[in-house]
């Protein structure tokens, strides 16, 4: 078997944050209190927090220095212009409209262009994106290529959208009902897999043919561009910045959660060319987020995002980031733990239904694994499966489940070292040996949208 190398951290650590440990008894009590929902556990009671890579990045010295230059004027703060310039230089669209995070960007965009009965195609919608489409009475549809749902397929671009599935949808529903097509890079619900430039061009052509605007859900665009450089023929010698610029050149706009590939703890934006749409979005923004030059952010936050978005394109950083996922995934794979392959950019996804074959889908094996991982080792991961994406298709009907039942180990940017990841791998390997003791759960309380955040469950 090939040796799995611990990646070298391309940074020094200047500020440290202590990790506190807890006892199993303490964690057991916290699980009970939180209704067996790890979103309800205080972060200080978590040893290694792999719940999300969103908003959990460590900022650089440059970003922290930039925070001191925050201009806190209500309108036209200088940091807005820095952000505008940084985003334009990568994305290439005229309008840059800041928001406090990605879902706010989704809400102001969708709220301005969708109406009841409309359809929004995507490779695979992530949870908040789906919810922001559906809350408006529109339908979110997924058209990822078939390999996206096969955890064993080694296809290098499992994030791709299937152009034929998209065309069939447009033909059957009519282009008039589709105000925009989205493309999520990387495909978070499908294992953090990249989309190829070939596919971006193909989908862009389909959209152009039917005159439908094409937008990116761009959260992890830098990781996607890096995978293109590594895997797509003809891009080996291009810089990641050039690849990102080319990706966006085929689209009409993007929503962005700066909490991912802009390396900030809060922030996002919508960026696009269309003047009429931009005006509607800005009007919506003023009602709920704030004036269009700050969109719910402080000047210092705008500056951190302006600086972070460029840092995310640094190839040494991206090399390390993807190596971290490959390292953790490799250790698990080598120990016989079922993992989604290839390894994604921001996370390793465990195939929970294979890890816990004795727990049926209706007893939420993915959720059960997150509970066990916290209880035994204080590690927090997130279920991407039946609780997050399952839905009742009607009154008293059976619940429908997504194709994949996974637990995501998301790696915060520049936060954990190789030793931390090694600890996580060892914990999972140990847990896997005693997997038959893990029990399924049932939901006792849930909300109508995004139920995973607040659901309460009970162990069976």
Distance in Å, CB of 239 to ligand P71, minimum? 24
Q: Is the dihedral of CA 127, 159, 267, 286 positive or negative?
A: negative
Question: How remote is the C-alpha of 44 from its chain's centroid?
Answer: 23
Contact indicator for 102, 215 with CB cutoff of 8 Å: no
Tell me whether residue 106 or residue 353 sits nearer to ligand P71 (CB atom).
106
Cα Rg for the chain, rounded, in angstroms? 21
**Closer of 268 and 329 to ligand P71 (Cβ):** 268
Query: Closer CB to ligand P71, residue 54 or residue 193?
Result: 54
Q: Are 48 and 72 in contact (CB under 8 A)?
A: no
Q: Cβ closer to ligand P71: 329 or 344?
A: 344
Q: Looking at beta carbons, which residue is closest to ligand P71?
A: 102
- Are the CB atoms for 145 and 403 separated by under 8 Å? no
- Taking the complex as a whole, how short is the minimal distance between the CB of residue 103 and ligand P71, in angstroms? 3
Rounded Cα distance, 263 and 266, in Å: 9
In the complex, what is the shortest distance from the CB of residue 218 to ligand P71, in angstroms, rounded to a whole number?
9
Give the Cα separation of 139 and 179 in Å (integer): 11
Q: At what angle do helices 240-249 and 197-210 cross, to 10 degrees?
A: 20
Shortest Cβ 146–ligand P71 spacing (Å): 21
Residue 291 to residue 75: CA distance in whole angstroms: 7
Judged by DSSP in three states, 437 sits in helix
Residue 306 Cβ vs ligand P71, minimum distance, rounded to whole Å: 17
Nearer to ligand P71, 93 or 432 (CB): 93
Distance CA 33, CA 328 (A): 31
Structure tokens at 26: 């303490």
Which residues would be at the binding site for ligand P71 (CB under 6 A)? 51-52, 54, 101-103, 126-129, 184, 188, 217, 219, 257, 259, 268, 382, 410
- Nearer Cβ to ligand P71, position 47 or 101? 101
The distance of closest approach from Cβ of residue 383 to ligand P71 in the complex, given in angstroms and rounded to an integer, is 9
Supply the minimum distance, in Å, between the C-beta of residue 421 and ligand P71.
Answer: 18
Q: Which is nearer to ligand P71, 404 or 432 (CB)?
A: 404
């Amino acid at each position: 078997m090939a040796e799995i190398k611990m990646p070298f951290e391309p940074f020094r650590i200047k500020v440290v944050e202590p990790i506190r440990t807890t006892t199993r008894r303490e964690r057991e009590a916290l699980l009970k209190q939180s209704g067996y929902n790890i979103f309800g556990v205080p972060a200080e009671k978590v040893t290694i927090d792999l719940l999300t890579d969103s908003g959990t990045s460590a900022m650089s010295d440059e970003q922290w220095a930039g925070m001191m230059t925050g201009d806190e004027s209500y309108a036209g703060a200088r940091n807005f212009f820095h952000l505008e310039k940084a985003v334009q230089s990568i994305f290439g669209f005229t309008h840059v409209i800041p928001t406090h995070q990605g879902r706010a960007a989704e809400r102001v965009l969708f709220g301005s262009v969708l109406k009841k009965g409309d359809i929004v195609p995507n490779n695979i919608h992530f949870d908040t994106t789906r919810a922001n489409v559906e809350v408006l009475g529109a339908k979110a549809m997924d058209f990822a290529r078939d390999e996206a749902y096969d955890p064993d397929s080694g296809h290098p671009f499992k994030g791709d959208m299937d152009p034929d599935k998209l065309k069939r949808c447009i033909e059957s529903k009519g282009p008039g009902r589709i105000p925009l097509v989205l493309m999520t890079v990387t495909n978070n619900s499908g294992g953090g897999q990249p989309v190829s430039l070939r596919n971006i061009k193909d989908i862009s052509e389909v959209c152009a043919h039917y005159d439908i605007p094409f937008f990116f859900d761009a959260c992890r665009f830098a990781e996607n561009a890096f995978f293109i450089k590594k895997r797509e023929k003809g891009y080996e010698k291009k810089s990641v910045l050039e690849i990102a610029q080319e990706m966006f050149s085929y689209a009409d706009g993007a929503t962005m959660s700066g909490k991912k590939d802009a390396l900030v703890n809060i922030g996002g934006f919508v960026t696009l060319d269309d003047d009429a749409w931009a005006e509607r979005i800005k009007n919506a923004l003023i009602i709920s987020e704030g004036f269009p030059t700050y969109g719910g952010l402080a000047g210092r936050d705008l500056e951190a995002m302006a600086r972070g978005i460029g840092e995310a394109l640094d190839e040494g950083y991206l090399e390390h980031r993807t190596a971290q996922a490959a390292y953790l995934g490799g250790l698990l794979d080598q120990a016989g733990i079922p993992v989604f392959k290839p390894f994604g950019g921001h996370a390793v996804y465990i195939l929970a239904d294979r890890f816990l074959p004795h727990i049926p889908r209706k007893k939420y094996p993915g959720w059960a694994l997150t509970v066990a991982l916290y209880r035994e080792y204080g590690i927090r991961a997130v279920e991407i499966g039946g609780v997050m994406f399952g839905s009742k298709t009607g009154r008293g009907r059976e619940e429908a489940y997504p194709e994949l039942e996974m637990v995501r180990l998301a790696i915060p940017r520049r936060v954990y070292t190789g030793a931390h990841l090694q600890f996580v791998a060892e914990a999972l390997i140990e847990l896997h040996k005693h997997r038959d003791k893990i029990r399924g759960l049932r939901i006792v309380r849930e909300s109508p949208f995004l139920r995973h955040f607040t659901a309460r469950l009970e162990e069976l």
